[in-house]
Amino acid sequence: MAAELVVMGLGHVGLPLSRAAVSAGLATAGYDVSETVVKGLSNGRSHVGGVCDAEVAAMLDVGFRATDDPAVLEGAQTVVICVPTGLTEGGLPDLSAVEAAAEAVAAWLHPGMLVVLESTSYPGTTEDVVRPLLERGSGLRAGEDFHLAFSPQRIDPGNTTWNIHNTPKIVSGCTALCAKHAVAFYSRFVDQLVVARGTREAEMAKLLENTYRYVNIALVDEVALFCHQTGIDIWDVLHCAASKPFGFAPFSPGPGIGGHCIPVDPRYLATRAESQGFAFRTLAAAQDVLSRMPDHVVNRALTLLTEAHGRPEGARVLLLGVTYKPDVADIRETPARRIAAGLLAAGADVRYHDPYVAEFTVGGRTLPRAENLQDAMAHADVAVLLQDHACYAGQALGQARCALLDTRGKAVGSRVTLL
């Protein structure tokens, strides 16, 4: 029987979306080009944090199936594309997965079908990249024969308050009718929909949201660098500024940004703007500051290692938390990798502790993993708190015998050095 919904790309976005659709009673199938992903899900194993094995098993029980066979698209009422939009080696937008997904849909497109792009991309992707591929491959016309929409995903992995159901969702269509069909689809499992004027506005809104974080993180990072140079306590500055009940949104400095959204999405905006003769100056300035933060942490750690051990070579450093975000098992683009590489290059003996990461490789080397936090801290010359996992909160890290470089402003104690 044809699926009501086919989700293309069963990753951090597609799998939670499938779960939400299944829970709303939609007959849902998932299509993914990765055999590993398909096999795992078919055997009831989740590879995405925030979706547990029991939930995958429950989805399978009510008819969800994952497949790498594009024939699953045959007769589907709605197709949602959630494939990756990363960067090429040269740092440019890589739309190859979106293009491949659109070509696969085109082969099975039928009149009345709703196709939604959820992958983040630059303004014009739905109209100028996806639409021609669908129309050329099918001979059908968007807005006349089938409906084409863009609806960016706002999922925040690890967020226990805001989920797919209660986070307002932006919806847009190539025509008003396309948008209407997309609204009808999403309103089955999303509480509040915000209809954009067109797909370009919705695409731009998503990039603005993530660029807003990017630029503001860069701002507090630069303020932190200045405060360090001038002997001002950045964490007290932030504490004071955040007491303003209006006109100030707090952001925290840190060792650098990571993940597949915040470091990547502004590149989509900047390169698209450049190709249209527009120079985004704030983005360039933010990128410059953000790219300096891992090296700043390395330099601060090397100073402490030299104080503790006489020289960095052979000194023992323990990295606490190597994921890019607190309490998620995601190390994509994590700044911890660059920091570890810098410390290794200086000859330090680098270990890590992270309850979420079983293996952490840096430049082809697997770092030794500390199982017991107290033992590892007793053994280290310097510990560097990189990620604010909840498990570190009650640990009195500042009381350990080793020096602690705290990049998150959490620890107190005479041996603690703040970012």
The question of whether 391 is a catalytic residue gets the answer no
Q: Which residue is nearest to ligand NAD (CB)?
A: 11
Chain positions 189 to 218 lying near ligand NAD, rule: CB under 6 A, are none
11 near ligand NAD, judged by CB under 6 A: yes
**Paired tokens of 283:** 């983005």
Task: Look up residue 293 and give its two tokens.
Answer: 């933060």
Nearer to ligand NAD, 18 or 417 (CB): 18
Which letter, b or e, does each residue of 330-355 get, where b requires 16 or more Cβ atoms within 10 Å of its Cβ?
A: bbbbbbbbbbbbbbbebebbbbbbbe
- 176 Cβ contact list (under 8 Å, min separation 6): none
Query: In which residue are the tokens 């905006």 written?
Result: 269
Of the pair 31, 280, the CB lying nearest ligand NAD is at 31
Which run of H or E residues covers position 406?
strand 403-406
Choosing from 3, 6, 12, 220, the residue that interacts with ligand NAD (CB under 6 A) is 12
How far apart are alpha carbons 335 and 174 in whole angstroms?
A: 38
Its sign, for the CA torsion 213, 231, 335, 383, is negative
CB of 399 to ligand NAD, least distance (A): 35
Q: How far apart are CA 138 and CA 236, in angstroms?
A: 60
Considering the complex, state which of residue 32 and residue 333 has its C-beta at the smaller distance from ligand NAD: 32
Q: Which is nearer to ligand NAD, 51 or 308 (CB)?
A: 51
* Selected catalytic residue, list 178, 261, 391, 402: 261
Of residues 67 and 216, the one with the C-beta less far from ligand NAD:
67
Instruction: Pick one of 120, 125, 138, 151: the residue that binds ligand NAD (CB under 6 A).
Output: 120
Token pair belonging to 62: 């009510």
Judged by CB under 6 A, does residue 324 bind ligand NAD?
A: no
Two structure tokens written together for 260:
């597949």
Question: Among residues 82, 170, 217, 373, which is the contact residue for ligand NAD, using CB under 6 A?
Answer: 82
| Site of interaction with ligand NAD (CB under 6 A) | 8-14, 31-34, 37, 82-85, 97, 100-101, 119-120, 153, 155, 157, 260-261
Q: Which residues belong to the active site? A: 261
